[in-house]
Amino acid sequence: MSAVHVSTKINGDDVEFVCRPDESLLDVLRDRLGMTGSKEGCGTGDCGSCSVTLDGRLVCSCLVMGAEVGGHEIGTIEGMAQGDKLHPLQQKFLEGAALQCGICTPGFLIAARALLERNMDPTETEVRYWLAGNLCRCTGYDKIVRAVMDTAKDMRKAAAKSSAKKPAAKKSPAKKTAKKGARHAA
Amino acid sequence: MRYEAPDTIKAAVGLLSKAKGTSRILAGGTDLLVQMRSGMVEPDLVVNIKGIPGMRDIVADKGGYRIGAAVSGAELEEHGKVGQMWPGVVEATNLIGSTQIQGRATMVGNLCNASPAADSVPAMIAAGATARVVGPKRTRDVPVESIATAPGKTSLAKGEFVSSVFLPKPPARTGSAYLRFIPRTEMDIAVVAAGIAMTLNAKGVITAARVSLGAVAARALLVDACAEAIIGSTLDDAALDRLAAAASAAAKPITDKRGTVEFRTKVAGVLARRAAVIAYDRARG
């Protein structure tokens, strides 16, 4: 079995690895790159706990070959928080106790983020259908769905606020950078 | 196992033609990786076709659409115009698996995996879709219904693969629909399925129809008797009864964990009837 050399981008960073051609992207992430946030539940694309984004598209990393991701961009749970600052979804999952054992949680977070990037105002039905490929055996889903809906609500509020301030929009990116810098300094 | 990612059809065909042992095409990979993992298939060669120009494109062609072999279900849905033209096909494709699966799974993969329960296949057959088969000798366009021959088996020769499917321009007043029965609302495989396309005249009389049944035989069936049962009618109750009877008569299912022969035979008629009503309403606009 000839090894394959792959250059790709994971969470914005250039990454190179060598893998066997029969290894899945999930195998590569966990066993070669030490990124164990993505979990293996079923290994057959049924449970969604290995969810990542591939060029922005939500996929099961167990159904992607490691060899085929060269030149593409991968997003994993490790890239969700910015330093110590949790993503709003992560914060809401914690606040709402939308997890118990936690194995499915990275997959749910990645999947929910992909939904909210496309649709900031999903109905409960839309949330449930979008997340139908993520299985959770602990929570009964209700708290997960509520956490996603609550995050969407917060995001809409924040978006309304920033669009209300539109005349001063030019200034806001600078402010953001400053804030970010301050956070890092702290 | 060897992994190759050629950038032309010619190179891909060359690799497949020369390969010894078992070769597999990688497009969406949602069937292939599961089969490899379970040991159902141990390929000596995997050819990723996604880097070949055109494989990921949806191209307007002769009033219809040519859909590349690596176009995912999500991309098909987001295109919008294909779904307006052939709602039955796009709805059927979008029923396959979860959001994650839709991000990868392709119609051509669904076709070439040759499962009798493949959702997109009866819908494509009803639409009169053709598959473009590329290979070492020539390129040929064949009806979609001629690809699968039995569960997991296709009519493709060594070195050949399907590079795209073509959905023709529908005549005016054409409607299509696809329905499947599953015991839950999402994330399951068809127990019985029906895909229908029909064309009406200005008076609402059906002038042409294609009816395909899935999961009731070794491969998706194109049932002429179902089309004959409704052509010339305005889809009145008598025509619907004839359609249901013809669908049940054509069904040659097996009993397995998902359904019995008796259940599948009856439900084939029920779904054909319901899909016909939807297609008729769509055709009337």
Does B217 contact chain A (CB < 8 Å)?
Answer: no
Least Cα distance to B220 among B165, B163, B178, B175 occurs for B178
Query: What are the angstrom distances between the C-alpha of A77 and each of A65, A88, B34, B40, B214?
Result: 19, 13, 23, 31, 39
Confidence of residue A172 (pLDDT cuts 50, 70, 90): very low
Same domain, B180 and B153: no
Give residue A139's pLDDT. 92
Distance CA A44, CA A67 (A): 18
CA gap B75, A59 in Å, rounded: 13
Q: What angle do CA A144, A38, A183 make, to 5 degrees?
A: 75
Edge-to-edge order in the sheet of strand B130-134: B58-61, B64-68, B161-167, B130-134, B140-143
Answer whether residue B75 is part of any domain: yes
**For the packed helices A142-164 and A105-118, what is the interaxial angle rounded to 10 degrees?**
40
Q: Which of B139, B167, B195 is the last residue of a domain?
A: B167
Domain covering A88-163, topology: DNA polymerase; domain 1 (1.10.150)
Cβ–Cβ below 8 Å for A59 and B100: yes
Is residue B24 in some structural domain?
no
Fold for the domain defined by A4-79: Ubiquitin-like (UB roll) (3.10.20)
Domain-located, residue B67 = yes
**A174: pLDDT strictly greater than 90:** no
Please state the φ and ψ torsions of residue B257, each to the nearest 5 degrees: -65, -20
pLDDT tier, A165 (very low <50, low <70, confident <90, very high otherwise):
confident
- Report CA-CA distances (Å) from A128 to A93, B28, B180: 16, 24, 20
- Over residues B36-41, the mean pLDDT reads 95
Length of chain A: 186
Question: What residue type is B129 in one-letter code?
Answer: A
Residues 88-127 of B with CB under 8 A from A: 97-101, 103-104
Nearest CA in chain A to B102: A59
Q: Do A44 and B38 touch (CB under 8 A)?
A: yes
Given a cut of 50, whether residue B3 has pLDDT beyond it is yes
Name the band, by pLDDT with cuts 50, 70 and 90, for residue A1.
Answer: low
Predicted structure pTM score = 0.93
Strand order in the sheet with B2-4: B2-4, B45-48, B23-26
Query: What's the pLDDT at A185?
Result: 36
pLDDT at position B143: 98
Choice among A21-30, A166-175, B167-176, B198-207 with the minimum mean pLDDT: A166-175
What would the pLDDT profile of B115-162 be if each residue is shown by its tens digit?
999 999 999 999 999 999 999 999 999 999 999 999 999 999 999 999
Structure tokens, A170: 């030019």
Indicate if the alpha-carbon torsion angle B170, B126, B77, B182 is positive or negative.
Answer: positive
Whether residue B184 lies within 8 A of chain A, CB to CB, comes out as: no
| Any domain includes B33 | no
Structural domain of residue B269, as residue ranges? 174-284
Average the pLDDT over B11-25 and give the result: 98
B246 and B274 part of one domain: yes
Q: Which of B72, B98, B186 sits opposite A48 (nearest CB)?
A: B98
ipTM of the complex: 0.94
Query: A173 pLDDT exceeds 50?
Result: no
Does residue B246 belong to any structural domain of this protein?
Answer: yes
Where does a domain end: B167, B196, B227? B167
Interface test with B, best of A65, A69, A72 (most B CBs within 10 A): A65
Would you say residue B245 lies in a domain? yes
Is residue B184 very low, low, confident or very high in pLDDT (cuts 50, 70, 90)? confident
pLDDT at A175 over 90: no
The dihedral formed by the CA atoms of A20, A26, A30 and A34, expressed in degrees to the nearest 10: 80
**pLDDT tens by residue, A71-110:** 999 999 999 999 999 999 999 999 999 999 999 999 999 9
Q: Is the pLDDT of residue B6 over 60?
A: yes
Distance in angstroms (rounded) separating the CA atoms of residues B47 and B61: 27
Sign of CA pseudo-dihedral B138, B139, B143, B148: positive
B91 plus B179 within the same structural domain: no
B267 token code pair: 């439900």
Q: Where does a domain end: B167, B188, B217?
A: B167
Domain count of chain B?
2
Verify whether the Cβ–Cβ distance B186 to A132 is below 8 Å: yes
DSSP 8-state class, residue A71: T
Residues B201-223 have a mean pLDDT of 98
Contact B152, B35 (CB under 8 A): no
Specify the amino acid at residue B131. A
Residue ranges per structural domain of chain A? 4-79, 88-163
Amino acid at position B188, single letter: D
Q: For residue B221, is pLDDT > 80?
A: yes
Mean pLDDT of chain A: 90
Dump pLDDT digits (tens) for B59-115.
999 999 999 999 999 999 999 999 999 999 999 999 999 999 999 999 999 999 999
pLDDT band with cut points at 50, 70 and 90 for residue A186: very low
Of B37, B72, B103, nearest to A43 by CB-CB distance is: B37
- Which residue type does B67 have? I
Long-range pairs of B221-229 with CB within 8 A, sequence gap ≥ 24: B221/B250, B221/B251, B222/B125, B222/B145, B223/B247, B223/B250, B225/B249, B225/B250, B226/B250, B226/B272
CA distance A78 to B269: 51
Both B182 and B273 in a single domain?
yes
| Tokens found for residue A167 | 């005349």
Look at residues A46, A44, A47, A116 and name the one whose alpha carbon lies nearest to residue A80: A116
In a domain, B133, yes or no: yes
Place of tokens 């040659």: B252
Inter-chain touch B34–A44, beta carbons under 8 Å: yes
**Res B187: pLDDT:** 84
CB B259 within 8 A of CB B245: no
The per-residue pLDDT for range B237-279, each reduced to its tens digit, is 999 999 999 999 999 999 999 999 999 999 999 999 999 999 9
CATH number, position B213: 3.30.390.50
- A96 touches A34 (CB < 8 A): no
What is the C-alpha to C-alpha distance for residues B268 and B284, in angstroms, rounded to an integer?
24
**pLDDT band with cut points at 50, 70 and 90 for residue A180:** very low
